[in-house]
Amino acid sequence: MRSHAVLIAAAWLIGCGTKAPAEQKPAEQKQAPEADPDADRPEDDAKQANFAQPTAKPPPAPEGSVLLPDPWLYVQTCVEPHPCPNLEQPAGDAHCRELRLGGHDAWRLPSKDEVPRFKGVDGLEATAGYHWTRTPFEDDLGQVWIVDPEDPQAAPATTIPRDRKAFRIRCVKEP
């Protein structure tokens, strides 16, 4: 009797390790239809709903600044009580880092490409004349670009050593 039980157990173990013939299990042979990559899938919409959607416009500009679009940038207006001083570039860089407008800190000098955007913006005072930038001159890192957003007749941008002369300091900040 014991050997008969061993044979049954062995047969059962052998049978568990093999699959039935294909004609006995038609469900295994069916393949799922190919998914249409262009089809709207509700599960994708549900996943996307969990992510924050970008807003069209950042918060209003802090007091003492205006907001420029595309790309968004807060720009100091230079109106009292926060005028834009004329300083050498290192002192201007420090001035921007220490500036606090409307409860916002972490201001910086603008890049060479940001200064021309100041021209004709309502609310910006004292835009004529060279403004210091944070953009170094590639051929001499001791020099930085200065840009005049208002005077297309003169050289609108040139380089000068950081400590040569005082120019306007106008701070900017990303929203």
Extents of the domains making up the chain = 65-173
Cis ω for the linkage preceding 26 (within 30 of 0):
no
> In the chain, what percentage of residues exceed pLDDT 90?
59
1.20.1070, 3.30.450, 1.10.3470, 3.10.100: CATH of 65-173: 3.10.100
In this predicted structure, what is the pLDDT of residue 157? 86
Q: Say if residue 119's pLDDT is above 90.
A: yes
pLDDT tops 60 at residue 129: yes
Averaged pLDDT, 16-34: 49
Distance CA 127, CA 130 (A): 8
CA distance 118 to 131: 10
Distances (CA, A) of 120 to 47, 49, 138, 157, 174: 44, 40, 29, 17, 20
Query: What does the alpha-carbon distance between residue 68 and residue 74 come to, in Å, rounded to a whole number?
Result: 6
Residue type, position 22, single letter? A
Q: Is the pLDDT of residue 160 over 50?
A: yes
Phi and psi at residue 108, to the nearest 5°: -150, 170
